Structure 1
């Protein structure tokens, strides 16, 4: 298992730049994803916990992690803007989810925050596919409780990625 990784780093770019970056660091298992909603948007993810090799990295600090990662499948990023009280409630919900066992199709869940900004909370899930995520999201109040969703000052943003199809080199 090795040491617990305390950071996940991502970067965005076009397919060409990220493909090149990935090729330049064969020692890292960098995974390239394609945004589900914007086909031209690509993301490279580094879960190694080592020093970043990205020029414009986005760092996430890992607060908690549960399950067995499946990076080669669908991943969901949900960003929530939480004040101090909401964070405590949210952490309790995440802990309950972790102890109850992860939903069908979910392999792992990370609770992250933007590096040095504790109020920006990100839930990252690794899944079999989008339909499993959608089922859970729509049937479960655990994820984003109704009282948050109904609050006018509550901000949340979701982004979904699937592994980018490998380009066959000519």
Structure 2
């Protein structure tokens, strides 16, 4: 499955939903709006990804966290294998809706896209023992960065929105 994302003003991105007969998810962050679609590209300047793994169905309402992780060329197989063989604890977390592990078609920054019922569900996961176990060797508290790391990871957060 291919995934495409683009940034823009909320009004412009909302207008795309009227022009295309395709499911487009709109999200509002602190400083930007984002449109996300799976399947065919409809954006002029998309960020393009291939799905490595996915669970759950995306919902029109919820809170989205994208963990943007730069990965070395040599580290791609290791990174992808870790996610394909993850324990799956996140899927059992209260408020979890969906996860997408996204491989960039250009560049080196993977996106671990998670959707939650609300922000507090994400915070509860982040403070859980399951999170600590899943991130014990590569999480934010880890002293050594994983061998696949090509630089610091960063989070982007969005609230799902619906066009008026």
CA distance change for structure 1 residues 129 and 101 in 2, over 3 Å: closer, same or farther? closer
TM alignment of 1:116-155, pairs within 5 A:
116-117=106-107, 119-139=108-128, 140-141=131-132, 142-143=134-135, 144-145=138-139, 146=142, 147-148=144-145, 154-155=151-152
Q: Match of 1:115?
A: 105
Contact 2:101/2:111 (8 A) holds in 1? yes
Instruction: Figure out how many residues of one structure are paired with residues of the other and give that number.
Output: 153
* Residues 17-53 of structure 1: CA deviation (Å, up to 9, x unaligned): 112222111x111121101x22xx1111112x12x11
Query: RMSD in angstroms over aligned alpha carbons?
Result: 2.6
| Residue 25 of structure 2 is aligned to residue 31 of structure 1 | yes
Separation (CA, whole Å) in 2 of partners of 1:153 and 1:58: 19
Structure 2 portions without partners, runs of 5+: none
Contact 1:7/1:61 (8 A) holds in 2? yes
Contact 1:80/1:120 (8 A) holds in 2? yes
Structure 1 portions without partners, runs of 5+: 1-5
Separation (CA, whole Å) in 2 of partners of 1:101 and 1:121: 18
